[in-house]
A and B are shown apart, each in its own frame.
Chain A
């Protein structure tokens, strides 16, 4: 009841803020200081299967997020800022605010700058802006590459970025590069923890060092951008075999290990390769992205109270994702679009199995009610649901009677930014 009242209050806020919110831009200690914010509220209804950890088959409005940032320009080359972000999407987030980004930025020259702190990770077209619903056509980005439930795996790192822009000649377009390294975020309220809990493994920690690079080329062809990203993760984690709240002990049974056995893991190899293309022609925009994530994790289990390894194996998966999209802005207030998103959980395995793929066709209409307030309506036609560790929206906890191979979804989302 309390949650419902809170959500109704939030919806009221979402409806009122767009009519009154303004960015705050003023001087502080004679320096330019800005405050910006955003928020969104969604509603999802599915024909069958509960999706994204919400009770969507009954219709769910448990789909809320917001962010607030402040930044200050110290000199022409030096600035800093920070953003708070929070979300509550079904069982994900659960209103645990986090420092989304917080960093110092020093730009020596246009061709080289440094950011240090918690920095959004540059990976493909939209990894760093995936929470910013107001900049995207879609109510929900293609989940093959930008899964809401795996956001924290790639969203940011605490470390250093070196970035810049290079223009080798008038006729060669320009290049933007980013090279980074740092510690990736741990997320006890994310989909990875939930997915493993659905088979009886409670993760206590999962994180580690990441490094990567991105190179994007604004080609001499007007409106054509192409790029590539590579990210390597060096993960360590530990957990415990437990009975979940639903009494699920799948892993315990599979491995013939008692409840309470301790799990340890680390990456032998965990690499993301991503390639992307964007072409804009007048009011039309085409995009395509491809991602391969290859994971080879060493996993070991210790019996309760023992330091001797009971079971060890390498968990290897080779997931491939891609999508193609087209969006057309009909007028200042209306944009329509469609995408086709493919996810294959493990490439060498039979791709026709619903446990090994999620295909999603989406159609969207976006209405810009004012320059700061939008509404979106989106239809999804999905086939497949992936494996328990695919983390692509379908979980045992919310679907205790099993999953059906096809899911249609209607998503409505409204939000504001200032």
Chain B
């Protein structure tokens, strides 16, 4: 095999690898968006969701106050931030820190598991979070992504 063919094969395999990686990390369907039951809306746009978690807004279109809660780490967290925020965890943490250390926003609440997210959302007015699709979310509202 000559050099140009080997080069072509390398780029083809690299492209395929990225494709596979891309498919494997798109896990939005594995995540469920939940909200405190006092929030009236039953659906939310991906844009609104991103704006809430990036601390760009703290209210929904109908004026309801919202407060994001994140999981500290894990596959559900990774899946959510990649799918809906378009960032890696390192980039997201840098982003939050650049806000709190310039005074532009507070650090959002962070908890350790699905159960803790559900518990926090259930007892906190306006709270909105994410859990794995299979989690038992009795006591909170599941929001549809428009």
Q: Which residues of A contact B (CB under 8 A)?
A: 23, 25, 32, 34, 36, 38, 67, 69, 71, 73, 76, 79, 81-83, 101, 103, 105, 107, 110, 115, 119-120, 128-129, 131-132, 134-136, 165, 167, 170, 222-223, 280, 282-283, 329, 332, 335, 368, 371, 417
Pick from B88, B91, B97, B109: contact of A417, CB below 8 A: B97
In the complex, what residues of A have CB within 8 A of residue B107's CB?
23, 25, 34, 36
Choice from A32, A71, A105 contacting B100 with Cβ under 8 Å: A71
Known A-B contacts A76-B58, A110-B56, A165-B56; A71 and B103 likewise in contact (beta carbons under 8 Å): yes
For the complex, give the distance between the alpha carbons of A417 and B107 in Å. Answer: 13
Contact A103 B103 (CB under 8 A): yes
Contacts A76-B58, A332-B90; A83 near B106 (Cβ below 8 A): no
Tell which of A34, A67, A119, A136 touches B106, judged by Cβ atoms closer than 8 Å: A34
> B103 touching A223 by the CB < 8 A rule?
no
Q: How far is the CB of B65 from chain A (nearest CB, A)?
A: 5
Contact (Cβ within 8 A) A329 B90: yes
* A81 and B90 contact, CB distance less than 8 A: no
Is B7 in the interface zone, CB < 8 Å from A? no
Give CA–CA (A124, B59) in the complex, Å. 28
Contacts of B104 in A (CB 8 A): 105
Which residue numbers of B lie inside 8 Å of A, CB to CB?
18, 47, 51, 56-59, 65, 86, 88-91, 93-95, 97-98, 100-104, 106-107, 109
In the complex, given contacts A34-B106, A335-B90, what are 12 additional A-B residue pairs having Cβ atoms less than 8 angstroms apart?
Answer: A25-B109, A34-B100, A105-B104, A110-B57, A120-B103, A129-B101, A134-B97, A135-B95, A223-B86, A283-B88, A332-B89, A368-B90
A-side interface mostly: strand
Known A-B contacts A76-B59, A332-B90; A69 and B106 likewise in contact (beta carbons under 8 Å): no
Nearest residue (CB) in B for A101 is B103
Question: Which of B59, B65, B100 makes the CB contact (< 8 A) with A36?
Answer: B100
Among A132, A332, A368, which residue has its beta carbon within 8 angstroms of that of B98?
A132
Q: A69 and B58 in contact (CB under 8 A), knowing A34-B107, A332-B89?
A: no
Nearest-neighbour CB distance to chain B for A226, whole angstroms, equals 17
A322 to B94, CA, bound (A): 23
Asked if B97 contacts A71 (CB within 8 A), the reply is no
Contact of B101 among A32, A83, A103 (CB under 8 A): A83
Instruction: Say how far A31's CB is from chain B's closest CB, in angstroms.
Output: 11
Inter-chain contacts of A79 with B (CB < 8 A): 106
A-B interface, 10 closest residue pairs, ranked by CB to CB distance from nearest: A135-B94, A129-B98, A76-B65, A120-B102, A135-B98, A81-B103, A110-B57, A101-B103, A128-B102, A132-B101
Min C-beta distance of B10 to chain A, whole Å: 18
Docked complex Cα distance between A101 and B107 (Å): 17
Q: Are B100 and A38 in contact, CB atoms less than 8 angstroms apart?
A: no
Do residues A417 and B101 form an inter-chain contact, with CB atoms below 8 A?
yes
Contact among B51, B90, B98, B103 with A105 in the assembled complex (CB-CB below 8 Å): B103
Question: Closest chain B residue to A77 by CB distance?
Answer: B58
Q: Say which residue of A25, A69, A170 sits within 8 Å of B103 (CB atoms).
A: A69
Residue of A nearest to B93 (CB): A371
Contact B86 A222 (CB under 8 A): yes
- Can you sample 16 A-B contacts with CB below 8 Å? A25-B107, A38-B101, A71-B106, A73-B106, A76-B65, A79-B106, A82-B103, A83-B101, A101-B102, A103-B103, A110-B51, A134-B94, A135-B95, A329-B88, A332-B89, A371-B93
CB neighbours (8 Å) of B102 from chain A are: 101, 120, 128-129, 132
For residue B57, which residue of chain A has the nearest CB? A110
CA distance A83 to B100 in the complex (A): 10
B88 touching A32, Cβ below 8 Å: no
In the bound complex, residues from chain A placing their C-beta under 8 Å from that of B98 are 128-129, 132, 135
Cα–Cα distance between A223 and B86 once the two chains are bound (Å): 8
A233 → chain B closest CB, angstroms: 21
